[in-house]
Amino acid sequence: MKIPRQEILDSLPVEWPEPLLNQIRAAVERSGTRLVVLDDDPTGTQTVYQTPVLTTWGVPELVEVFDEPHQLIYLLTNTRSMPEAQARAINTEIARNLLETRRITGRDFSVISRSDSTLRGHFPAEVEALIAGLRMHYDAVLIIPYFAEGGRFTVADIHYVAEGEDWIPAAETEYARDAYFGYAQSNLREWASHKFRARIAPQDIASIGLETIRLGGPQAVADQLSRLANAQPCIVNAAADRDLEVFVAGLLRAELAGKRFLSRTAASFVRVRAGLDKRPLLGAGQLTSASSGAGGLIVAGSYIEKSTRQIESLAALPGIASLEVSVADLFDPARRSSAVERTAAEASATILAGKDALIYTSRQLMTGSQTGEALEIGKMVSQSLVQIVRALAARPAWVIAKGGITSSDIATQAINVRRAQVLGQVLPGVPVWRTAPDSRWPDLIYIVFPGNVGHPDSLRQVVELLHLKVPGVI
């Protein structure tokens, strides 16, 4: 059911009039607390900039980054691609390492569990593992999937996905039909109750509504948060960035009064919680790295309809060599190796010739007969793409990875990225990294393109921007 966006917005109180981001930033800087984001796929860096991303979380690595002047730190866990038990184990390991890092450095930290704005991921398993591993008492688990850059809004506890000028309840979108993380509830109280396997009834899940945020302001938010206890789940509504500013200002007041909260959020909350201003999109002059006249590389594993349309638009661009990898071949042991070798050889020749290689999986979706098989299928396809990129004989000028699992696996397993710097965004919700000197391709522009972001021509526009010779914006 599509609902006109303006119809919903007109039913709401006006936004809180006072900008609060400067207050939030000052409070964050005074605290000296490191804000650590556990990101279940690399797309979560899609609202921040000048921020380190670590793909490993040993105590030595954490101590090093805690001692640097970064108040915001991302840890790429990629747990959305894993079974629940493995996701729990990783969150527990990170929690314990963070405690040891605090002991060594004397620096306190606050944790955010960043996940999908369309509600896919291991919830509540990951936050439960964090709470147990950190051995801390939390008064509430805040559920905040608002993500303006991707068109995700929460009003009256209903989570919406924007499509043009309309908003669609999340459970009516293709994301809700995910083979592993599917759901049938757009009301976040009902969704959370279902995720808790009915251990918590919908009416026992708290909610911070837009009336509280827009009419009562930060103090009303703080008052409502102060009444929560015993890790109570709490939905946070938001239809604009100012709503998040008001909420975070109230959150900080409640924390100063001794309350403690763990957040399960999409990417917009992270920027506001860190006190970061919005920045303009990156232009061509900010997207340069050592290229030696080589072509670029686009690797697309995401199979959703939006990604398919974007791939089709890019493939029509002159000078793009489109290399389709048959998923059926990948599932046949007799054909898999030859498919990988052939694609890698063709892509290498294309890149060396100064042209761009588009490697994408065939568009048929294979889901498996059981829920757990969906993750295994996705993992096998992603690993094949990793093998192709590993086998490349040429360094590309830049790399775009399309899809969360794909972008994580290519970065960590094919390019050996242990650390990168988030430069900013090339399109709303599309982050750009620069790889560190110890990666396979140092100083590489690496663009993490989420599967569920953009319009049909977005991927093509990014490639066109990368070919501009002077600074500019799309």
Domain with CATH 3.40.50.10840 in the chain: 3-273
Residue 369: what pLDDT? 46
Between CA 380 and CA 376 the distance in angstroms is 6
- Is residue 95 within 8 A of residue 130, CB to CB? The reply is yes
Domain with CATH 3.40.980.20 in the chain: 284-466
Residue 406: what pLDDT? 86
Residue 333: what pLDDT? 81
User: What is 284-466's CATH number, 3.40.250.10, 3.40.50.1860, 3.40.640.10, 3.40.980.20?
Assistant: 3.40.980.20
| pTM reported for the whole predicted model | 0.92
Encoded tokens for 352: 């060396």
The closest alpha carbon to 51, from 448, 421, 433, 439, belongs to: 421
Between CA 31 and CA 400 the distance in angstroms is 37
What is the DSSP secondary structure assignment for residue 139, as one 8-state letter?
S
Between CA 305 and CA 451 the distance in angstroms is 9
CATH number of 3-273: 3.40.50.10840
Residue 43: what pLDDT? 84
143 exposed, middle or buried (CB, 10 Å; 0-12, 13-18, 19+)? buried
Peptide bond before 124: cis, by omega within 30 degrees of 0? Answer: yes
The closest alpha carbon to 409, from 459, 375, 364, 365, belongs to: 375
What distance lies between CA 134 and its chain's CA centroid? 23
Residue 230: what pLDDT? 96
The alpha helices in 179-326, defined as continuous H runs, are 188-195, 210-211, 217-226, 241-256, 267-273, 305-315
Amino acid making up residue 343: T
Encoded tokens for 305: 């309809």
Amino acid making up residue 220: A
Between CA 228 and CA 234 the distance in angstroms is 8
Instruction: Please give the C-alpha separations between residue 382 and each of 63, 84, 175, 210, 224, in angstroms, as whole numbers.
Output: 31, 19, 19, 40, 44
Residue 367: what pLDDT? 54
For 28-66, the DSSP string reads: HHHH--EEEEEESSGGGGTT--SEEEES---HHHHHHHH
30 CB-near residues (< 8 Å, 6+ apart):
none
The closest alpha carbon to 388, from 450, 446, 319, 329, belongs to: 329
Between CA 364 and CA 330 the distance in angstroms is 13
pLDDT averaged per 10 residues, the chain (length 474): 96 98 96 96 91 97 96 95 95 98 97 96 97 96 96 98 96 92 97 94 97 98 98 98 98 97 97 96 84 85 81 92 87 85 96 95 60 64 90 95 88 96 95 96 94 88 83 36
Residue with tokens 């207050």: 23
Encoded tokens for 393: 């004989």
Amino acid making up residue 103: R
